[in-house]
Structure 1
Amino acid sequence: GSYFYQFYQELDKLYENEEKSETCKTDLFSGVDDPDVIKFLIKISGILKRLLNKEISVKNAEKLEDKHCIYLRYWIYDKLIKLGFDRYDVNMSFHFLKKNKKGCISFTSSEKPCNFYKLSLKDIYNMKNLYDYSELLFKGDMNVYDKISEDSKYLDYFKNGLNLYKSSKTRCPTDTKNEYCYEFNEYEKIHTKHKAKLPSFSCREKLLSSLYKKETNLNGELSQDGKSYNTIDPDLYKLLDNIIDTKHLYKFYGLLEKHNGKYNTTNCDTLKDYPIKENAICELMGRVEDIFKIWDNTYVTYGQLTPSETCNYLNYWLHDKLSHIDANPCDIEIFYILWHKYTMDKSKNKNKCYNEKYYGFNKEELENKKKLFDFLIYYKIIKDKIKEPKNENKNDYCQYIKVMFELYKKMEQKNISYSYAEELKLFRNNFSSNRELYYLEENCPDMCLGFVFNKKFKTLCPFEENNTTELAKINLNQCENLESSKVPGQVDKNNEEGYNFGTLPTATVYNELNGNITTNTFYNICSQLIPYDKNHCGIYNLCTKLVRNLKKLSTMEKEERKDRCEYITHWLYHEIWKNTNIISENIYENVALREFFNVAFEVLRKLDITDCFFNTMNINFYEEKEKKYLHDYFKSHKKINDGNICKDEECKKYCKYILFINDLYRKYINKCCYCFKSEGCMEIYPSYFKCNDIYKPHKLFEKLQCSKLEGFRDKIRNVDTPVPEDHYVKMLTEISVKEPHLLNWGNKKPSIIPEVVYNKKTSDPFYTFAIGSLGFLGVFLILFILYKFTPLGSYFNNRDARKKRSYFENFEQEFLEDDVEFNHGNTQNRRMRIAYRQL
């Protein structure tokens, strides 16, 4: 077996045979209470002594001596895990090892002792796995990778190890000071010495991973001719005809395409032991050498670009070249090694250019990195195009932006090994501003662009699928041809038609909320309503509009968010009420409506909207409609009051509208306003009623001079403000000031009732108290006897029990039936109680 395995087995034997050393002092274990921990530490101390004195019997022990400490720590971590030590035991063990790293006995060995670092349980697992996988990978034979790749568990094991190695590299720069990084950096220094036999960890492991995913092959054949005719991202290339290229990226790529490299065997002599596409890699390296011959004079400041920008452009151009020759991870890694070696050893350019942040990319990662980079370079130009009012390609630009946002989410999910760290950072720098995302939401609606940084969503649009299912299409088509059922619930059409003023701000908002979904996307969260759409035509469509509106609400803040929530609430009740297909004849058995509200609350939960909910218990749609009228009146008051809107016949419509509102105002003012004499009125329901006197309808009636119009003279009555709650207290206070003698108890008028001469003995307070107490006890005794020894007590007892049981049973039943907000379980047989009234 391997030397590592032999070393591990020898440590196991020492551990099993190690007896308690007579020279170990018991005071070394002060503070350690667990006898198992003490026994473990005694054995480890003896093993440390033997290791440092070179008393191990492994063959060829002189090999890889610099790894002895790593092997020992790996073995100790394995023991800590197997022994099941908790966090406290682990901490005590590390404390002891750091303090006594030479063992219990002092000795004269010149061997450098092994350092121990205080790690958490999670770090112990990570470091052990890192040691384990890297040692096996180091000794692996790349020629048998095809056979290894057939075992998915084996590949997953190596993949996890690589991700851990790369994340540790990012977590632990050389200047980071913590226990985990101390140990990792020590390991990394030792590992670097042995890279002569292994170009890098990532080359081997990623080759295994790509073989398992069938992404590449090892036979050295190209999957295509290796040429990419459109170096720019194809989706972006389609839009470039309409874009003025001020960034010079496309032209720069074009210049690089003109360089033809020559196959140079001297540069590739070191690659013969690796299964790579030698001809393709060496040819690409020849093109790079040809480019660098004129780099300083031609490319460094091309098009007024900076040297760092032109170097980045070259890097991403090479990403495209490597992906088009079907390069596997080893191909890619070897190419970057050659490029770095050439730049450092042979290039005479003043401006050095190479990839300093290479982490061992695969083909998919190279493609994604380049696509996102190209998009970020051209985004500002695309944004300017979207601003153009008559741009026919606006939808194409928006679709392209959405595709790139989806790519960002995908890259973010797969950035475990930090392969996309640079591109993700550039993306966040461009779009982290809420203002930028708000602009995109306004100009590219219904595309979920505002959710790009939402960590809860793994995809950009959490409620969307690309296409509707065939079953959905069939059901929705049937819905389009379904006639409205003859059921109650429709809105008063006279009021609806007469009071729908398109010039008011409320109309603009409702038109937006009720607008059709402009994209071809399918909201999968609403799909559970499709079976109901056949008999309740429109319920699915209403659900999609609600999802769209709530998505936009989730991006709003403060007053704008509060205002939009009020609109959505009133709009939703209104749309449900006026749709005769949603409100069924037996409204108390409306399963579809109950399911609709279940979906609504699920959307609210997913969007983290906790400040905008709908009442779903005992809904009175008639009252909700009245509340909407009041809400809209107060929102439109300023426009009606300030604007010059009263013209001819239109003025009569407004006057009629104000009369209608005045009746509602009178009906609701006492319920909605809690007034005080000096401090005004407190608004109990500010979402649909304002208590300030400036909103009184009769004032607006006078402002529009409705009394001068025929048919409106003396039609309106002023609505009084509710009586202040402190009215009577204030009144008594004023009276007491004007007539203070009423509070003077000394000024008594003669009584018309003659005084009664009383007995002095009965007037004694002691007798009064004694008589009262005895009387109370007597009454209590009689009631106790009646309750305990007569049927009267049983009657009251059973009656209370029945009342209590009935109350709680009714309450529980009502809660289970109506509380859709918190119940998301099976709703097939649950009832919903909705009160309504025919208008």
Structure 2
Amino acid sequence: MNRNVVDSAINLLPGYGNFGIESQLYIFYSLFDTYMDPWDTGEKAKCNSKSEELDKMWCKIEHTLKDIKEYITDFHVDIEKTLDYLIYWFYGQLNKIDHNVNNINSFHSKVTSYFNTKFPELKDKLNKKYIKSYNIKVLQNKKELYDFLNYYKYIKGMLNQNRNNQKFCNYIEYIFKLYMEIHDDYNSMNSGWYDDEIKLFKDKFSDVAKEINLLVAKCPLINLNLIFDKNNKSIRLIEQEKSKKKVEKTFESIKTISEGISLENTTLNKFYSELNECAREGKDIAGCNSSNENYIKNDKDFCAMWEKMNKILGEWKEKFVKSFDLSRNKRCDYLSYWLYEKVKKFKDTSNIIPFLYEVRELFIKHKFCNSKKYDFRVDQMENKKILFDFVENFNDIKVKLNVTDIKEKEKYCNYIKFFFDVYKKMETSTNGSKGYQDEMNYFQAKFLGNIKELDNLNIKCPGKCLKFIFTDEYTNFCTSEQESREVVQKEKTRCTPMNNFEVILIDSNLKDLYEELNKEDQIDNYKNYCTELEKHECTHPGVTTLCTKAVKNLIYLSLMPQNEERDERCFSLKHWLYQEIRKIFNRKSTNVSYEPVITKLKDVVLRINNTHFSGKPCYCSFDGTLNEWKEQKYLHDYFKSFDSIESFINKDQDACIKHFGSVNYTNKLYEKYIGECCYCFKSGHCKEWCPDYFKCEDTLNPYNLYLKLKCTEEHAKDFTIVDKPISIDNHVITTTRNSLLLAYQNKLQDPFYSTVLYAFGTLGIFMIFFVFYKFTPFGSLFHRKKHNDRERMQNFISEYYGELTANESEHENVSRNRRKIQLAYNSA
């Protein structure tokens, strides 16, 4: 399932009834996409004169949107709805530029400036609604989901007519899976980036029973359980269900691992016991009337707990302040974690966090506690509590490791290992670490940098890799033999590739450049830039040295003339840096972009770019997985070394035997990336979207090397010939557009059609011609110096409504993101 599923379905929608007339979103996209290519030669020359691709695009955007206020006013379009369309249209435009950090940041800044200038009265609302994410996938997901939800009623109409059902069913299934996927992206979900789309989704599918009946009848192959709870006729609470399963699994595990563990006499557990005892004592307050919150008064769970908290409050000074030698903050922390345990299973989960604040306010009023921020999800409370309890009780736990009974000792070692695993899962999770930050910090305060403590644990509990908890060597399945050979194995892994064909024969000049970039001479002069990295040396040895090398190389690069040579050196520098990071992390496919050490390194690189580069910078986004970095460096080196590789193969008599594996591996990577890196036209020209690691020239296709290997037919079975992506025939598109325009102009000059337009327009599509001709403001809205109002209107109508009346087969072959006028610009 891919983007073609989306395009092939949307391209069929204009064939349904009044879709092209009624769908304001489709009309908006069609109109403004069409005018992204200025017809006025002066405007085109102005935009093309810009040196940067982003500046060229923004020039066209400004030209396209300059009269948008008149469009809103004259057409009586709801301004907020139109600006919603504009925001999603911006997301679509952003997806067309090179996705480096600098471009994305500049684009977001330009959009913000546009809102502030064009709509000052709505700028706060617009800037809040427009998501300035550097993750293009998030913005693409938002647009795809929003577009689908706006088109859904028309899709249902097509399904009811049994027209191209399979394509629309594929589209629906694609969106359902997308809806599931965005719930896996915790960082984006927790940031509220998808809130608007999720709310709209739930509104569109509010009549669950009706939607299920339709989809069962028309799209029987769709797995409706992805989205719907058929028994309760409701939309699944996807995030809550996933979290609940994780929590229940953890809860069952801790019950098992805690069997036979004796910690009743720790200060923390004594405090918990006293809280339980106080909460069990008889009531001496008047119910829940002391609360102003209706959910507390009306819900038996909250009401009962509110009574208990007031009882504890009354006994706080005598039973908890005087009886326990603890700081004020520590007592309040104990109370909070105890409370997490009590409220975590309340049915009304939406009010659990507000209830925590209400309870805290009780103790703040009496000056027993300070304010606290409950910045986490309800489903995270279980893991928050168990990790806090473990760290708080650790000094009592480690004493148990001194016993002579091997089984008893192993029991406590497994107990410690369990909580180290809990921490590691929190640390490496892409969908939850934010809510656990307090507990992770507490764990780190106890163990990070405490080498003596970790070494002692490793001795007492061998084979569990406990001392590697803050490194990437930590695993859940570590043997003592592996531990004893840690250094040897690490170096072996670094130096030995998975397959020998993954080592590419790079050009000698490129090899010399990498060696130069890796030199350590004079790096002491740059240490002051990397002081923040020093604290990560314990967990990522060598990162400070790498940072100083990167600074040295970037500053040297900034002094070079701004030409192609500097650009190429920048690309090589990035791949060198990513390779060195891979050595430090020594993982295959993990995304390390959110690791604290990478964040610090990214800050240093950004600072050097901002302070030393004038004009074109050399940013490193650090996006993607380690494996993607490896593949992209391989491709970069391949294209840079193509001539050398070709020459080497030509000289080798056993070329096929020695090099088929390498060429075939290169070809597979070439096939994997060409679709997203090359946007090609019928003329043979291709727009390169990944210039730092991919070239679209036919001469660089690995197939050309394969031919020189002169392999047998047996090898040919394993080799796939990779062609360029499907070309766009701009000449045919332009000719078709002009033919439609000429046909319309001929009809417009016929008196008969003029009469029909005036008298019977409301009965059919000719009414649309009349309305746009007679009443619309497109003449003033899209002014062109060399076209009068009548000519401009004819141009728009002939293009736009020519699309509406085209047959369905034509729609299937045109991508909605590759519109006619726009293509003419790109292929020029």
Structure having greater relative contact order (Cα 8 Å, sep ≥ 6):
2
Q: TM-score, normalised by structure 2?
A: 0.40
Higher helix share: 2
Q: TM-score, normalised by structure 1?
A: 0.39
Larger Rg: 1
